[in-house]
Structure 1
Amino acid sequence: MGIEGADFREPAGEPAMLPPDSVSWRVFRNPVTMYIGGIAAVLLELGEPRVRHGVWDHSSFKRDPAGRLRRTGLAAMITVYGARSQFEALAARVRRMHARVQGETDDGRFYAANDPELLLWVQATASWAFLEAYSRYAAPLGQVERDRYYAEARPGAALYGVEAPPANEAGMQALMARIRPQLEPSPVLDELIAILGTADILPLPLRPLQRLGVRAAVDLLPSVMRGQLGLTGHRLRRHERALLGLLAKGAGRFELPSSPARQAAARLANVRRCGPAGLATS
């Protein structure tokens, strides 16, 4: 089954990469903070020039940002909530796609999507951004939970081909300090922000919230990186942060039955009713 047809209820009883009591299950089930964090991660990724060329020149982000965001978000959901076999198939597909992506930056530097450093930056910035958005707007997490969250991401990252992802928050901060000198401003970042503010991602009546979410993503970035990327004009006001906090907390309380987390919980509940081969047991 392709990613567009992902069904988190199948196969019955098959576990995910992570258990339901993991910090990742809690963080990834909030759609408001996942939206904000997802955009913040893309901004950090595209701030690295080799990643920027790999994404902007070889993907559908520019011509179909809404579709690309949906596919990227669904891949994140599969990473945490999908049955392990479903996630393994997705990771293999992504590795095959990365093997075909390579080229040169404007200043002549070679890049390849399966470069270990670039893979690490993409994986780690996504982890960081989802965690920071959740902790800022949904519920703050303590140091033990934050470190556990990073450790939980390592087995899944390995299947994507990522070598030595951060094992804790200190490791993440060290990586950001190491990569930060490579980040640079680009017209692509401004173009991306404009596209994400107007693309058909949310229904038209909710489009102001969509633009607010994009600004929140910029606001989420560390101030030194925000300045280095030239993204200094998108800060949130206090009442806007408060509104996003209310939306994120509300999303956490009123989860749809069709959400990946709820479907995955139903899949795991079937282990009590099904045998190893999926047959009903008495």
Structure 2
Amino acid sequence: MLDLAVLPLPRPVHDRLDSVAEGFLADAGIRFDFTSPPGEPALVPPDSVSWRIFKNQVALFIGGVAAVLLELGEPKVRDGVWHHTTFRTEPLKRLQRTGLAAMVTVYGARSRAEQMIGGVVRAHDRVTGITSEGEPYHANDPVLLDWVQATAGFGFMEAYHSYVRPLSPMERESLFAEAVPAARLYGATGAPSSEAEWNRLLESMRERLAPSPVIFEFLDIMKRVDALPRVANPVQVALVKAAVELLPPWVAARLGIGTEYRLSTRERIVVGLAAKAADKLLLRSSPPVQACRRLGLPDDYLYRRSR
């Protein structure tokens, strides 16, 4: 069987998909030019594992949902997210902004990524409150920041590993190491820098994670939000289930998530096909391609490397 590095698409099909993907990020209300300043490196280099993984939008969606589930399991993070963001009222815009932030962190020029992260840190400094359980929280608490950064890294890594292709132990370690510079800028100075550190952090949260109606409200929103064209809603529901299946079994049990979120055989096949196809989908307006152009690299640079 011929293994193509890039999916061959007729020009009208490419242009339509490119327009939809470009519009998703543009609708976040923030314009970001990944081609500028010419030649300026990102926080991580283009030959990194991160650059290859973050180009896959299906894996990012799955991994992002898994990460948020872990975050919402921590009561302080849960109430900080749910009461101080627009997830409930404007979930699509929130997804768009989160997606853009992830793209800027990995592919944006270093100076501009630092500027964006600085704005996020300043905004978080105003987020304080008391949880439903009576605990005070502050969004820039380093302990909470470490957990948020760790869950994001875990989610993206496991989604790619499970649904696109298995990552080697060396690649998994590289992902943790590559995330450290951005994590420090966010204030997560104790975020895991290795898989062993992640495993220890996760185990330390065993008694901290707690069930909440917020978790199921989030899952319901993610199944219904217009992240994909309406005709593809069954696929979106399967992607949400795929995210739940990334959670360690004891975490899902701790959060009260049952077997209704288990993938059927057909759904598992669909998720795998979608994730693998996304890994070969080169869209010329996408952040990874635009970032390659900024550095004088060919449009298909990341796709050549992922063969």
State the TM-score, normalized to the length of structure 1: 0.93
Q: Distance in 2 between matches of 1:180 and 1:34?
A: 25
Secondary structure, counterpart of 1:180 in structure 2: coil
Contact 1:3/1:74 (CA < 8 Å) preserved in 2?
no
Q: Counterpart of 1:240?
A: 267
Query: Is 1:150 equivalent to 2:173 in the alignment?
Result: no
Query: Is 1:255 equivalent to 2:282 in the alignment?
Result: yes
Q: Counterpart of 2:93?
A: 67
Q: Counterpart of 1:107?
A: 133
Secondary structure, counterpart of 2:207 in structure 1: helix
Q: Which runs of 5+ in 2 are unaligned?
A: 1-27, 298-307
The alpha carbon displacement at 1:195 in A equals: 1.2
Q: Distance in 2 between matches of 1:214 and 1:24?
A: 22
Q: Counterpart of 2:24?
A: none
Q: Distance in 2 between matches of 1:109 and 1:165?
A: 22
The alpha carbon displacement at 1:94 in A equals: 0.7
Amino acid at match of 1:249: K
Structure 2 CA distance for partners of 1:63 and 1:110, relative to 1, 3 Å: same
Two-structure CA RMSD over aligned residues (Å)? 1.2
Query: Is 1:6 equivalent to 2:28 in the alignment?
Result: no
- After TM superposition, the structure 1 = structure 2 runs for residues 126-205 of structure 1, keeping only pairs within 5 Å, are 126-205=152-231
Q: Which moved more, 1:242-251 or 1:16-25?
A: 242-251
Secondary structure, counterpart of 2:296 in structure 1: helix
Secondary structure, counterpart of 1:106 in structure 2: coil
Moved over 3 A (4+): none
Secondary structure, counterpart of 1:218 in structure 2: helix
Structure 2 CA distance for partners of 1:73 and 1:254, relative to 1, 3 Å: same
Contact 1:3/1:75 (CA < 8 Å) preserved in 2?
no
Secondary structure, counterpart of 2:257 in structure 1: coil
Secondary structure, counterpart of 1:103 in structure 2: strand
Contact 2:62/2:242 (CA < 8 Å) preserved in 1?
yes
Q: Which moved more, 1:243-252 or 1:35-44?
A: 243-252
Contact 1:113/1:119 (CA < 8 Å) preserved in 2?
yes
Task: Please list the CA deviations of residues 125-161 of structure 1 after superposition, one character each: whole Å capped at 9, or x if unmatched.
Answer: 0000000000011111111110111011001110111
Q: Distance in 2 between matches of 1:261 and 1:101?
A: 32
State the TM-score, normalized to the length of structure 2: 0.85
The alpha carbon displacement at 1:239 in A equals: 2.7
Q: Distance in 1 between matches of 2:235 and 2:154?
A: 23
Q: Counterpart of 1:276?
A: none
The alpha carbon displacement at 1:101 in A equals: 0.3
Task: Please list the CA deviations of residues 215-238 of structure 1 after superposition, one character each: whole Å capped at 9, or x if unmatched.
Answer: 111111111100100111201123
Q: Which runs of 5+ in 1 are unaligned?
A: 271-282
Contact 1:102/1:111 (CA < 8 Å) preserved in 2?
yes
Q: Distance in 1 between matches of 2:206 and 2:95?
A: 25
Q: Which moved more, 1:225-234 or 1:240-249?
A: 240-249
- Out of 78, 88, 97, which is 2:114 matched to? 88
Task: Please list the CA deviations of residues 68-97 of structure 1 after superposition, one character each: whole Å capped at 9, or x if unmatched.
Answer: 011101101111000001110111001101
Amino acid at match of 2:292: A
